[in-house]
Amino acid sequence: MNIIKQDSYVILEMNNDSSWNTLFNFLTNNNVMSSVIINLLKSDLDTDEVVLKLLPFHLNWEKRNKTFILVSNIGRNISNQLVLIKTLEEAIDFFHMEQLTRNI
């Protein structure tokens, strides 16, 4: 897993060597307080399983008024609650637009 820290968000890039446990441990043990974008495009993790396991994290981030985005090729029909976006660039744009609307 590659961690890219920005000023107001963190990108977690999962790759073929990444495991669900790596992601889970990072999200639970590192007290990530900023918004999170998780990129699964280069990963061979089972995205259906990951989506189900990430839902509690999404709800936690939502309670703290932070953004939690999953970048994946999976369809929107898997989860209506998670923000699923198909490209990293779109996810970053979505994050910035969400920040603007929160500041209004």
In CATH, the number for domain 2-103 is 3.30.750.24
What does the pLDDT read at residue 78? 59
**Is 62 in contact with 37 (CB distance < 8 Å)?**
no
Give me the helices (H) in the chain, please: 20-29, 47-63, 88-103
Cα distance between residue 38 and residue 32, in whole Å: 13
What does the pLDDT read at residue 36? 94
Residue-by-residue DSSP string for 75-98: -GGG-SSSEEESSHHHHHHHHHHH
Cα distance between residue 17 and residue 91, in whole Å: 23
pTM listed for this prediction: 0.88
* Bridge partners (DSSP) listed for residue 50: none
What does the pLDDT read at residue 49? 78
pLDDT per residue as tens digits for the range 11-67: 999 988 888 888 888 888 877 778 999 999 988 877 777 878 888 888 888 888 899
Band of pLDDT at residue 10, cut at 50, 70 and 90: very high
Residues 6+ apart with CB under 8 A from 36: 9, 10, 11, 12, 27, 57, 61, 66, 67, 68, 69
Cα distance between residue 59 and residue 6, in whole Å: 22
What does the pLDDT read at residue 93? 96
Band of pLDDT at residue 71, cut at 50, 70 and 90: very high
